[in-house]
Amino acid sequence: MRKIAVVGSINMDYFVEAEKLPEIGETLLGNQFFLSVGGKGANQAVAASRLGAEVALFGSVGKDEISEIFIENMKNETLDIKNLNLVEGSHTGVAFIEICNSENRILVVPGANDFTDVSYINRVLEGLLTYDVVLFQMETPIELMEYLIPILHEKGKIIIVNPAPAHKIKAHLFDKITYLTPNEHEYEIVFDCKLPMEKLLINYPNQLIITCGTDGVVYYDGQEIVRVPAIKVEPVDTTGAGDSFSGAFAVAVSEEKNLYDSIRFGTIVAGLSVTKKGAQTGMPYRSEVDLLWKEELKHEGEDHAIEN
């Protein structure tokens, strides 16, 4: 199996849950408060390692109590964090997450994540280049991704970019990215264009993969637009669903599953992850996913038999 490196953010998530979210200038009482380790980079790395892949996280934390909690938490995961950048004089990233009716809105203060930069990556580049699949998000400086993609491409690495939160990607990088996975709200910003989704997909066959929440995931296979369905679950908290998808997709790609199956593997993991509160709390382990995977294949067989 190929090894996966995640270059990305690490946050402490401060969750509040309420039946209604306040308007500007309004004060309301919430129902629940909890803390949980998060950050899109850390979440994707945890998602991938729980699925049995060999994964390393490249990112930064402050020298503070929050990073101690993060490091303690990672002892329960099989994730390699030996390249972590411990930043003096900055705080570990924090995210304030409001949950209402299983949906969320998130405000991130990056802190030490801003130090996941070119100077840090040059110190750990040799180690990073021993990985085969490299997964990015956009909560760390965009300049780092712009610097690294050509280097990784030149070395023949598989590059997956989950452009969240959305940011424009420079045009010359597109042909170096193996898979780009924006959601239905992000793709217009990423490509800085107003093309309808289908038109854009046709320009990037088997490369652009757009996630559409409960409507599944779409891509163009060179002949037609393919929609991979989402699995049906009762969502409790959708925080980290995109991260679960990305981590799982990277694992499936590293196992050389075909594109359709890699996406389907991602949708199963994302579906399972939203059945619990917190980003990493609900991320499933391999045995749970394999069970559901077999069920899905069985249903597919049955549907196929009925069609015939």
Which residues of this protein are in contact with ligand RIB, per CB under 6 A?
A: 9, 11, 13, 38-40, 43, 95, 106, 108, 139, 239-240, 242-243, 279
CB of 108 to ligand RIB, least distance (A): 5
Q: Of 80, 114, 243, 261, which residue is the catalytic one? A: 243
Beta bridge partners of residue 227, listed in sequence order = 218
**Closer residue to ligand RIB in complex, CB, 116/239:** 239
CB of 297 to ligand RIB, least distance (A): 29
Q: Which residue has the tokens 């050509």?
A: 150
- Residue type (1 letter), 209: I
What the block records as the tokens of 25 is 């200038």
- Within the chain, how many helices (H) and strands (E) appear? 9, 14
What the block records as the tokens of 215 is 């409507």
Candidates 280, 228, 295, 304; CA nearest to 35 is 280
Say how far apart CA 182 and CA 199 lie, in whole Å.
15
Query: Is 243 annotated as catalytic?
Result: yes
Candidates 175, 147, 154, 139; CA nearest to 44 is 139
CB of 114 to ligand RIB, least distance (A): 14
**Closer residue to ligand RIB in complex, CB, 44/254:** 44
CB of 240 to ligand RIB, least distance (A): 5
- What region, left, alpha or beta, does residue 148 occupy, with left being phi > 0 and alpha being psi -120 to 50 degrees? alpha
**Closer residue to ligand RIB in complex, CB, 239/262:** 239
8 Å CB contact between 271 and 233: yes
What the block records as the tokens of 26 is 């309004």
| Residue showing the smallest CB distance to ligand RIB in the complex | 38
**Closer residue to ligand RIB in complex, CB, 9/60:** 9
Say how far apart CA 121 and CA 82 lie, in whole Å.
13
CB of 183 to ligand RIB, least distance (A): 11
**Closer residue to ligand RIB in complex, CB, 201/270:** 270
What the block records as the tokens of 14 is 């401060």
CB of 50 to ligand RIB, least distance (A): 15
**Closer residue to ligand RIB in complex, CB, 139/201:** 139
Backbone φ and ψ for 133, nearest 5 degrees, come out as -120, 130
Say what the alpha-carbon torsion angle 290, 293, 295, 301 is, to the nearest 10 degrees: -140
Task: Please give the positions annotated as active site.
Answer: 243
